[in-house]
Structure 1
Amino acid sequence: MRRRHLTETWLVLGVSLGASAIWSLLRIVDRLTRAEPLGRQTSAMNSSVTPDRPWLDLTYQLVGIAVALVPVLLAVHLLRRDDPDEPHTMGFDLRRPMHDLLRGAGLAALIGLPGLALYAAAKALDLNTTVSAANLAAAWWTIPVLVLAAAQNAVLEEVVMVGYLFRRWGEAGWGTWRVIVTSAVIRGCYHLYQGFGGFVGNLVMGAAFGWLYTRTRRVMPLVVAHTVLDVVAFVGYALLKDHLSWL
């Protein structure tokens, strides 16, 4: 049973965020072996595919968001074989909306400001790229799509990296801190494409989120916090990039 659970987790990671971690590791090697310092490179996110055809670009964006959520459905499906009450067992539901919203908002504030300071410091030290967080062509749907992208990131990462993996690795006999640290390291690794600031920031965030989950057994506050952080990053960048030269 232990071996089956571990094999299952590596397969789920292999078709989702584990694969992203491998590509991200290759990306940072690529960046570090360029003549240009890391601090002068740019990591572009949320980019248009067909900016000259907004309707097709919107379709690309929505399909990309939907496909990215398939691993979430897979993880919940696998857990439901043993526990028909999933995803409620991991707290991925709307049973405590105000509690989850308040705790998530507070967690976002607690993580967000130090994270911004870490990004600025890492960039100044040539340890991080400039993160261009929103590069969609201007259209009526730009802001809604950025919000959806933020929510998709949050659901994917928190359900898979916390709700699913903490359950399966615990069933495989791993101790609490082994689970927290391993999940946090993987989270940091799939952000390495941004640079070492992105790695450290997400490592710390993953450890904090993981510890909180072991205390509450609710994923929803983590999803709320992550969504808020990404909405601020994506939408804020889109609205301010033409007005603030340091972005």
Structure 2
Amino acid sequence: MQSQASGPARLPASGETLPGRVLRRETLLVLALSLGASAVSALISFVGSLTASGALADQAARLNTSQAPDRPWLDLAWQLFGIATALVPVALVAHLLMREGAGGLRSMGFDRSRPGFDLGRGALLAAAIGGSGLALYLAALQAGFNLTVVPESLPHVWWRIPVLIASALQNAVLEEVIVVGYLLRRLGQLDYSPWAAMGVSAVLRGSYHLYQGIGGLLGNMAMGVIFVVLYRRWGRVGPLVVAHALIDIVAFTGYALFAGKVDWLPTP
């Protein structure tokens, strides 16, 4: 006797919450494809630094490195490829939230509806956090808890600064969308308390900066707490993306312009 074929699985109606096991699996997969994997990589890197000969401060944590030395056009292609593929998890999150009926990234306030608010609050936040973050980094480096961070070591070609700016924007969008907007939404749906969700978000943010050292871990955890508090107050990741982008743009381009020219900026 031929059995009747079952129909396609029913998708939840708009606004209907997915089962907890599905949300947990989805969240773990999104993190495994993005910043969760970065956290594991950072831990392995930090263990390598701890077990290497020499003090942490004598070692370098390098960002934005050349992918094809002495071949600038190929290097540019690799840089753009890396930036574009790093944003795929953001597109995935937008798709998942749209399918859920939440309205995509608009549900977390990442849209163009309030540009003045996002730019203004983001600039003020960057000014407040940027200086304190630099002070913490210098103190941790002096105490021997941090590696020397080299924000960029790209060749001196015409696309150097534009690529650094694009890299900063990519970091900001990826981290704030995933670690704040998406993760807090999913943890809330999984019945995490607000304090627990904040802790998970902050620890994750700190953990994928561990390759820089203890200062990178603690400083970014503190930043994570502040960003979660402000996200809950403002209901938008837009200002957080702006702030993060400005902090990284200043760090990347500032190092490119001033490394080796000012005494207070550490270099390997």
Alignment correspondent of 1:104: 122
User: 2:86 aligns to what?
Assistant: 68
Matched, 1:168 2:186: yes
Tell me the CA shift for residue 84 of structure 1: 4.8
- Partner of 1:141 in structure 2? 159
Computing the radius of gyration over CA atoms, which structure comes out larger, 1 or 2? 2
What amino acid is the match of 1:183?
Answer: S
Kept in 1: contact 2:43–2:207 (CA 8 A): yes
Whether 1:5 and 2:18 are equivalent positions in the alignment is no
SS, match of residue 43 in structure 1: strand
AA aligned to 2:212 is Q
Identity score, percent: 53
SS in 2 for 1:81: helix
In 1, the alpha carbon distance for the partners of 2:210 and 2:101 equals: 34
Does 2:38 correspond to 1:42?
no
- Aligned pair count reads 247
Matched, 1:89 2:89: no
Secondary structure at 2:113 match in 1:
coil
Structure 1: distance between partners of 2:248 and 2:142: 22
State the partner residue of 1:56. 74
Deviates more, 1:214-223 or 1:76-85: 76-85
- 2:42 is aligned, of 24, 30, 46, to 24
Distance, in Å, in 1 between the alignment partners of 2:70 and 2:78 is 13
Match of 2:214 among 193, 196, 203: 196
Match of 1:187, as an amino acid?
R
Aligned AA (1:190): Y
Question: Does residue 1:222 correspond to 2:247, yes or no?
Answer: no
Residue deviations 1:90-115 (CA, integer Å, cap 9, x gap): 10001100111010001111111111
The AA in structure 2 aligned to 1:75 is V
Between the aligned partners of 1:28 and 1:166, the Cα distance in structure 2 is 27
Residue 230 (structure 2) aligned to one of 209, 212, 227:
212
CA offsets, 1:130-177, max 9 Å, x none? 100011101111000000000000000000111111111111111111
1:88 match: secondary structure: helix
| CA offsets 1:160-206 (integer angstroms, 9 cap, x no match) | 11111111111111111111110110110000000000001100011
Matched residue type, 1:150:
A
Answer yes or no: is the 8 Å Cα contact 1:21–1:189 preserved in 2: yes
**What TM-score do you get using the length of structure 2 for normalisation?**
0.90
User: Where do 4+ consecutive residues of structure 1 move more than 3 Å?
Assistant: none
Structure ranking higher on relative contact order (CA contacts 8 Å, 6+ apart): 1
Alpha-carbon contact 2:96-2:104 (below 8 Å) kept: no
| 1:186 alignment counterpart | 204
